[in-house]
Chains A and B, each alone.
Chain A
Amino acid sequence: MEPLNALISLSNFMLIPALAYGSQLALGALGITLIFSILRFAHFAHGDTMALGTAAVIGGTLFLQAQGVSIDPLPTALLAIPIGIVVMVLYLLAADRLVYKYFRKVKAKPLTFVMASLGVMFVTNGITRLFMGVGETRFEDGQRFLFTVREFRDFTGMAEGMALRSAQAITIITALIVMVVLFWFLNRTRAGKSMRAYSDNEDLALLSGINPERVVVITWTITAILLVLAGTLYGLDKGFRPFNYFQLLLPMFAAAILGGLGSPIGAIVGAYVVAFAELGITYAWRRVFSYLMPEGLEPTSMMQLLPVDYKFAVTFAILVIVLLFRPTGIFKGKVI
């Protein structure tokens, strides 16, 4: 039973958290990749917009809770997600009207768009903090665990335990559904096809009668949905702190670049690679190896390659390796 115990321990502390974190990153990286391939700039406001979306969801949750609405055992926040999505669609479209549209009209350089997104980032950041402050907000309610360590141990009789938090399970399932729907949308619907055509060749798309402004509106709408979902799931899993969302920018970009900027499937694969690498390298493997190694050879150290504080370094190392050896990413990027 020793290898099985090792596997359980590994799942509990690494595989499940990494899967959940990877799903959250994937939803974020998909948004980045979509904006990059349609609007053609690196969207630096992504992390902070995610924070604002989550703040809207938290607001909705508080309102629903005050009304006594509850969908126990599921968290109320799930019910508030549509509220957040509506708010963020309006917010992003307003930002597009007020800021980006002008630069599209004058055909500004890509870096001007990036600058503009820095401005939007500041504003969004300020708004989020005006409402939420900088502290941590927890908004997870309902049943916290699908099963706890103790229940698992009692049920299976194993030495090691494993817990599955409902936030993690919800994250993984939601991400799967969203990805399937997104690919169906991009590949099967008229709007999705027009998006891909526009991303592939702007002029040709114009000639075929595709309205670019419509494509842009659809892109922001999808981005808003992805943002709110990613932000809410991350917040349910790890609590809401505006600064953490800003810091997600690096892993999300790393995921998108690793997979190939502009490639949705790449963004997803990249996100899971980043998540597993971050957790795997900062994970203390001692417990796992103490089950796997023969008697007397158990490890004495923590068997942790890097302290947890360096998880950015892991992301960064991945990024550097990609930039050095395969700048186009795993799936050759650019076209969706």
Chain B
Amino acid sequence: MSLTARDLGLFAIMGAVLAMVAMFQSPQLAVTILNMSLISAIMALGVNMQWGYAGLFNVGIMGFTAVGGLAVVLIAQPPVPEAWAAGGLGVLLGLMLGVATILAAVIVYKKMTPGKLRGLAIFGVLLVGYLVTAKIFGPAKQAVQAVNPASEGYLGGAGLPVIMAWPVGAVFAAGIAWVIGKISLGLRSDYLAIATLGISEIVIAVLKHERWLARGVNNVTGIDRPVPRPVDLQPVPWVQSLADTLGWSLSQTASVISGLGYSALFLIVLAMLIWLAERALNSPWGRMMRAIRDNEVSARAMGKDVTRRHLMIFVLGSGVCGLAGAMMVSMDGQLTPGSYEPLRFTFLVWVMVIVGGSGNNWGSVLGAFVIWFLWVQVEPAGRWFMDLATSGMAADSDLRQHLLGSAAYMRLLTMGVALLLMLRFAPRGLIPER
């Protein structure tokens, strides 16, 4: 199952389009689109594993990417010793008590016979656990947040190399996915959708609210980068000579080179993932997954544990989304919980998977490139269109100003129309499953 000439042609067209962006708009823009497309491609791969291989409907991609992003802060940022001294242990103890409370409630539920007594016991355990946890956690949290709040006010990270955060981000996301999957897999298919929708909102709420963790809405900025920053590249002699040969400004050359450094890293990760995914899909395991997707009942009759397989693929796919989230944060060099929006991070990835071709890994990659390109370019195109459409009106007319101002929302409309057209006329996507 390799690429056909037609698929290669589609990728070539996409490459040519990006090259045109570099020529006619700006090389920086082309590199930015390329990098974000690569990250989106990894997200789409993760979703494609869940949807294309197994038919699982995950609408919590935003939450998994955000958790991956959190891992970058926790791994790469230097620790804040004053904050640890002020309340680090209390916070950790509080978290452990919280987990212990839930575990205790689960044990009570499993050990006791059903009845009123059990209900009361569980309630009692939860209440006592909550009060004790709140007593220890609350003050410790306040103490941590009071440490130098303008620039710190959080526990900081482990101060490790930022690349290490990528696998850790994947593990974080996979852990959350395991809990969600345990609860909602094996029930109706739409329940997983609602459950993932919920958990992603909660993850964002936690990131925004728990300032001791990653500064909440105050954002963590200036995170270590895996490739040199443009500013550091500018004094390098070969960069300067390259700028002269190309006839570009020095800052432009430096930022393009820095961006291409990320592209190289992302390409390596993407290539590894695709290789693994393709191998898996064409192995007996992949055939089993597709058999389960296409007919759960007969797969079950063949002795396959459908729920367990679903859980496995759900955890794997979410882990890949977490990896992409970590990569994105380390590219931006900052974690901004306020910027996570479900339309952008969950539903747009879905459009990528559907447009690209669900069930086909290469399709997801192509879909990510096409849709991200549209997402970036539709806004200026919309503004241009609105400008044209309203050119008959007076320049200071309210309606004209309003329409020009809302051109930004054209992209949502375009995405919706693209998704609907694909579903209707080419439900198998640009590169169909074969």
Contact = CB atoms under 8 A, between A and B. Distances in A.
Q: Do A and B bind each other?
A: yes
A131 B199 CA distance: 31
B191 A327 contact: yes
B367 to A, nearest CB: 14
Contacts of B189: 110-111
Interface in B344-361: 347, 350-351, 354
User: Top 3 closest A-B pairs, CB basis?
Assistant: A122-B416, A126-B413, A123-B416
Contacts of A307: 209
Interface string A244-257: 00110110011001
A103 B69 CA distance: 38
A117 B188 CA distance: 18
A125 B416 contact: yes
B89 interface: no
Nearest to B419: A119
Contacts of B414: 126
Contact of A323 (B183, B413, B424): B183
Nearest to A108: B427
Interface stretch (A60-68, A149-157, A227-235, A311-319): A311-319
B205 interface: yes
Contacts of A286: none
A81 interface: no
Interface of B: 55, 57, 59, 130, 183-184, 187-191, 193-195, 197-199, 201-202, 205, 208-209, 342-343, 347, 350-351, 354, 403, 405-406, 409-417, 419-420, 423-424, 427
Nearest to B410: A126
Contact of B423 (A115, A249, A313, A320): A115
8 contacts: A115-B419, A118-B350, A123-B412, A123-B420, A133-B406, A257-B194, A309-B205, A316-B202
Given A115-B350, A310-B209, A324-B183, A121 B416 contact: yes
A83 interface: no
Contacts of A130: 403, 406, 409-410, 413
A316 B195 CA distance: 7
Contacts of B201: 247, 250, 312, 316
Nearest to B135: A301
A281 to B, nearest CB: 11
B342 A246 contact: yes
A313 B420 contact: no
A112 B205 contact: no
Interface in A112-139: 112, 114-116, 118-127, 129-131, 133
A126 B194 contact: no
Given A42-B194, A99-B424, A320-B195, A127 B419 contact: no
Residue of B191, B416, B417 ringed by the most chain A CB atoms within 10 A = B416
Contacts of A42: 190, 193-194
Contacts, number: 125
Contacts of A323: 183-184, 187, 191, 195
Contact of B343 (A122, A131, A310): A122
A41 B189 CA distance: 11
B405 A133 contact: yes
A102 interface: yes
Contact of A250 (B187, B190, B194, B405): B194
Interface residues of A, number: 47
Given A115-B419, A120-B416, A310-B205, A125 B198 contact: no
Contacts of B183: 320, 323-324
Contacts of A309: 205, 208-209
Nearest to B411: A126
Contacts of A110: 189-190
Interface of A: 41-42, 44, 98-99, 102-103, 110-112, 114-116, 118-127, 129-131, 133, 246-247, 249-250, 253-254, 257, 305, 307, 309-310, 312-313, 315-316, 319-320, 323-324, 327
B417 A123 contact: yes
B209 A254 contact: no
A99 B411 CA distance: 20
Nearest to B415: A122
A315 B198 contact: yes
Residue of A122, A125, A253 ringed by the most chain B CB atoms within 10 A = A122
Given A111-B57, A125-B412, 18 more contacts: A42-B194, A116-B420, A119-B419, A119-B420, A120-B416, A123-B416, A124-B416, A126-B411, A126-B412, A130-B409, A131-B406, A133-B405, A250-B198, A309-B209, A310-B202, A313-B202, A323-B191, A323-B195
Contacts of A98: 420
Contacts of A116: 420, 423
Contact of B416 (A111, A119, A133, A253): A119
Nearest to A131: B406
A312 B198 CA distance: 7
A319 B416 contact: no
A316 B342 CA distance: 16
B409 A129 contact: yes
A254 B184 CA distance: 13
B276 to A, nearest CB: 26
B188 A327 contact: yes
A127 B198 CA distance: 25
